């Protein structure tokens, strides 16, 4: 059902409305004329009554004067009666005309109603056709080929760099799919901005790595080819076209459960801070807001920023999801108390422990440490160090123990 059919029917209704208006004007004119005839009837009836009264008076005088001529009075009365009769006849004709025109008006009105009902059906059929066309355009299967080069940071392993490159290539493929679908829409100008904000589920039926290699020591290149299909919600075409959901009663695409097919859903990550870092499954995706497509299943989301506690969350993605990360300054986060067991020494002088710190340069510095806590002082930053601690002597009687709560001390923390 094309738009021209709807427009043609609308023009036909416009013509019918015009004819209806003309017919209504004609009917109004007849009613006005009928009203004028009714007003004239009142005057004519009054003149006829006067003429009859005069005629009656002349008849009474005829008894006194038999030779009295009554012809003039009779003709006056006859003329007045004739005018009244003519007026009544005209009124009867007007009423008949009005009835006929009212029937014609009703016929035109019914035609208009029929045309409007047909127009409603045409518009519904046209809307259904738009929805079906958009559904086909949205769910068209595409083969997407992309090439991505990832610059690996020095702290990444080869496996991490390769994984990140493939993940970024997949995201690039999803963006290509979105752009390709948008460009092919029949109603592109109307829907382009709405498609940008649409949450997409993507089914990947074939994902092949065509080429994958390191270009140099820090750059990894991968070429992928993916057979992809958008799997929108069944109401998505109606929402995009801003029409009733009654036109979107059936699912657009049946998602296959075959093992060789993956269904990808959209994850949006935002935080309350700028210049943060968003990682999903340890793959860096940039600063928030981030919009990524991931296979359904378990995924780990990390949002971090220097000076703030990292946001960590594990998600079981089965549908589109939005994550809001609230990052708090480390100084604002209260230290969680940890239960520890502390050995209370006997009331005696505190033993001293001598620790030897051996560096790769065979440099040894004796360090005096109280209470069995080891602190090392090294002249230069070294890759590693070996610490030897002489245990203090323990009194013959066992020391009492007491469970207290204090902040955790991490001896392995980097200074």
pLDDT at res. 107: 95
Which whole number is the average pLDDT over 124-135?
A: 92
Which whole number is the average pLDDT over 50-56?
A: 93
204 versus 38: the higher-pLDDT residue is 38
Which whole number is the average pLDDT over 384-409?
A: 39
Bridge-based pairing state of the strands 202-214 and 219-230:
antiparallel
- pTM here is 0.58
- From CA 178, how far away is CA 200, in angstroms rounded? 9
Query: Per the structure block, which two tokens stand in for 214?
Result: 């390191």
With cut-offs at 50, 70 and 90, classify the pLDDT of residue 146: very high
Query: Over the stretch 161-207, which tens digit does the pLDDT of each residue have?
Result: 888 888 889 889 988 998 899 999 999 988 888 887 777 788 888 88
Share of the chain above pLDDT 90, in %: 45
Answer yes or no: is pLDDT of 393 > 50.
no
Answer yes or no: is pLDDT of 371 > 50.
no
Whether omega before 256 lies within 30 degrees of 0, making that bond cis, reads no
Which whole number is the average pLDDT over 318-345?
A: 68
Answer yes or no: is pLDDT of 403 > 70.
no
Three-class SS state of 133? helix
Backbone angles phi, psi at 184, to 5 degrees: -90, 0
pLDDT at res. 101: 94
In eight-state DSSP terms, residue 186 is T
Which whole number is the average pLDDT over 226-247?
A: 89
Answer yes or no: is pLDDT of 221 > 80.
yes
Contacts of 72 (CB under 8 A, 6+ apart): none
Residue with tokens 């309350």: 272
Query: Over the stretch 331-344, which tens digit does the pLDDT of each residue have?
Result: 866 554 444 434 44
Query: Per the structure block, which two tokens stand in for 392?
Result: 């203090």
With cut-offs at 50, 70 and 90, classify the pLDDT of residue 1: low
Query: Per the structure block, which two tokens stand in for 368?
Result: 């005096």
Averaged confidence pLDDT in the chain? 79
With cut-offs at 50, 70 and 90, classify the pLDDT of residue 254: low
Do 199 and 170 touch, CB atoms closer than 8 A? no
Query: Per the structure block, which two tokens stand in for 260?
Result: 């060789």
Looking at mean pLDDT, say which of 44-48, 63-67, 286-290 comes out highest. Answer: 44-48
Residue with tokens 């004028």: 36
Query: Per the structure block, which two tokens stand in for 324?
Result: 């809001």
Across 138-261, where does the E strand assignment appear? Answer: 142-151, 202-214, 219-230
- From CA 119, how far away is CA 131, in angstroms rounded? 18
Residue 316, classified by CB atoms within 10 Å of its CB into exposed (0-12), middle (13-18) or buried (19+), is exposed
CA distances from 266 to 61, 62, 263, 376 (A): 114, 115, 10, 50
- From CA 158, how far away is CA 84, in angstroms rounded? 115
């Amino acid at each position: 059902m094309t738009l021209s059919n709807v427009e043609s029917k609308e023009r036909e209704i416009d013509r019918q409305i015009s004819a209806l208006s003309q017919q209504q004007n004609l009917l109004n004119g007849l009613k006005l004329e009928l009203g004028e005839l009714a007003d004239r009837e009142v005057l004519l009836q009054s003149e006829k009554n006067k003429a009859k009264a005069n005629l009656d008076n002349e008849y009474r005088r005829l008894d006194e004067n038999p030779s009295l001529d009554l012809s003039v009075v009779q003709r006056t009365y006859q003329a007045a009666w004739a005018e009244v009769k003519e007026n009544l006849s005209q009124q009867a004709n007007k009423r008949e005309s009005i009835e006929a025109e009212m029937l014609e008006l009703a016929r035109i009105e019914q035609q208009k109603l029929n045309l409007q009902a047909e127009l409603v059906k045409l518009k519904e059929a046209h809307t259904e056709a738009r929805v079906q066309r958009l559904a086909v355009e949205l769910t068209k299967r595409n083969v997407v080929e992309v090439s991505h080069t990832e610059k690996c940071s020095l702290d990444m392993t080869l496996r991490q760099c390769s994984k990140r490159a493939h993940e970024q290539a997949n995201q690039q493929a999803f963006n290509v799919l979105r752009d390709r679908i948008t460009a092919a829409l029949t109603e592109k100008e109307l829907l382009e901005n709405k498609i940008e904000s649409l949450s997409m589920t993507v089914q990947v039926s074939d994902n092949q790595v065509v080429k994958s290699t390191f270009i140099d020591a820090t750059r990894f290149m991968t070429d992928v080819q993916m057979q992809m299909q958008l799997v929108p919600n069944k109401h998505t075409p109606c929402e995009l076209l801003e029409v009733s959901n009654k036109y979107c009663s059936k699912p657009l695409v049946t998602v296959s459960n075959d093992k060789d097919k993956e269904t990808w859903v959209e994850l949006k990550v935002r935080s309350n801070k700028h210049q943060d870092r968003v990682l999903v499954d340890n793959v860096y995706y940039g600063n928030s807001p981030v919009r990524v497509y991931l296979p359904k299943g378990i995924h780990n989301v990390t949002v971090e920023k220097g000076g703030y506690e990292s946001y960590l969350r594990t998600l079981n993605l089965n549908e589109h999801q939005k994550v809001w990360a609230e990052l708090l300054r480390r100084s604002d986060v209260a230290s969680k108390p940890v239960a520890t067991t502390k050995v209370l020494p006997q009331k005696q002088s505190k033993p001293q422990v001598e620790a030897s710190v051996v560096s790769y340069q065979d440099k040894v510095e004796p360090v005096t440490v109280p209470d069995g806590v080891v602190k090392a002082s090294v002249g230069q930053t070294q890759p590693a160090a070996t610490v030897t601690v002489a245990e203090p002597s323990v009194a013959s009687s066992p020391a009492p123990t007491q469970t207290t709560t204090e902040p955790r001390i991490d001896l392995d923390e980097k200074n």
